[in-house]
Chains A and B, each alone.
Chain A
């Protein structure tokens, strides 16, 4: 049996007195793709941020590749993350943004890597500043930023938001390729997705993560790409 890439143990998160996540015990094995669904404000993004070590749980713990998310240390570089915020500098061009992140991660030939990923997400405006980008273009570049370092764990918060159908198929293909090389992925979405690969499906109900059951709610799956 594959080792867990991500494991949460009795994880609780409250904002003030408002509980958002209650007693989360989730395990995602290495090389698997997991999908977490839930409504607005259900705690999906919060859970991803805790797993990435960007937010601290109120109690319990999240373990990523054997390290507590409270102190991930060198495990940080194995994580690629997409959030609702683009993590891009508006006054830098697309190429400059990706080159900066490549240098930050100590990747050799950052310029070439940036070029490759700009092409991979189908962006033609490599030399335009990000502040001139549409929401969809920014999302494509953010996905390139998250995936260009070939991470072992992808945390993708609503990766298909704001994308046109061509871009959706392209991003789905990139996710499939990442899974094929052994990457673990945790995606969030508001509804069920079909990426053409085996997906472990979970949902957040009243702050608790439970396996998704078809009979709980009729899935509205849309087959993406492939």
Chain B
């Protein structure tokens, strides 16, 4: 637990100090919203669907950027080797990197929710609060997957290209579930109406976190 907390604290400290990831993620979300608003020209009847789609596009791209930044910091001076040699359990190391990525993404999502409210002319209120479960499950699952895959891609020359190619196909079922659950929330349906989609998201969370905890040790090892 001490080593987990040490890595998480260090990642948060580095991010607070530089602010690079959070600012970049926020800027990316803003750009995605602007592009989608002009591309979709949302009509009142489709507003919830379009807003949910825009939110998840922002979540996926911001998540990839966030997870990559976190791993680049570890590879900068070979620090990943130091972590590999240290007594920290690889699963705990994965957990700490996942928690940091989740925290960065959550901050950006709060801002992204504010942006979709403005760009898609949504009401501030209970509908937005009902978004919380789908966003929380979705963020956790995507952070879990992206952290694992970023550990692989950050060690390759074409890492920035490799991550979306690996991550998006694996996350498509969760994206579909997340968009459906978010659309239900923004349309004013009760939480129970989206329970099956939330169940799918939760299942993906369990799957990706378990895979990450089991595989991270092999992913960070050299040849």
Contacts and interface: CB of A to CB of B under 8 A. Distances in A.
B85 interface: yes
A188 interface: no
Contacts of B10: 89, 92, 96, 100
A101 B81 CA distance: 13
Given A55-B223, A77-B87, A104-B7, A88 B77 contact: yes
A91 B17 contact: yes
A8 interface: no
A79 interface: yes
Contacts of B2: 103, 106
B82 A101 contact: yes
B181 to A, nearest CB: 37
- Chain A CB within 10 Å, residue with most, of B18, B77, B221, B223: B77
B223 A89 contact: no
A79 B18 CA distance: 32
Nearest to B222: A55
Nearest to B17: A91
Nearest to A106: B2
B200 interface: no
A74 B222 contact: no
A51 to B, nearest CB: 11
B203 interface: no
A56 interface: yes
Given A52-B85, A54-B85, A56-B221, A104 B3 contact: yes
Contacts of A81: 85
Nearest to B18: A91
Interface in A42-64: 49, 52-56
B87 A105 contact: yes
A106 B84 contact: no
Contacts of B78: 83, 85-87
A86 B82 CA distance: 9
Nearest to A145: B82
A55 B78 CA distance: 13
- Chain A CB within 10 Å, residue with most, of B13, B73, B82: B82
Given A74-B87, A91-B14, A96-B13, A85 B81 contact: yes
Contacts of A91: 14, 17-18
A140 B2 CA distance: 26
Interface string B1-20: 01101110110011001100
A225 interface: no
A96 B17 CA distance: 13
9 contacts: A49-B81, A76-B87, A85-B77, A91-B18, A92-B14, A96-B10, A100-B6, A101-B82, A104-B3
Interface of B: 2-3, 5-7, 9-10, 13-14, 17-18, 73, 76-79, 81-88, 221-223
Interface of A: 49, 52-56, 74, 76-77, 79, 81, 83, 85-92, 96, 100-101, 103-106, 145
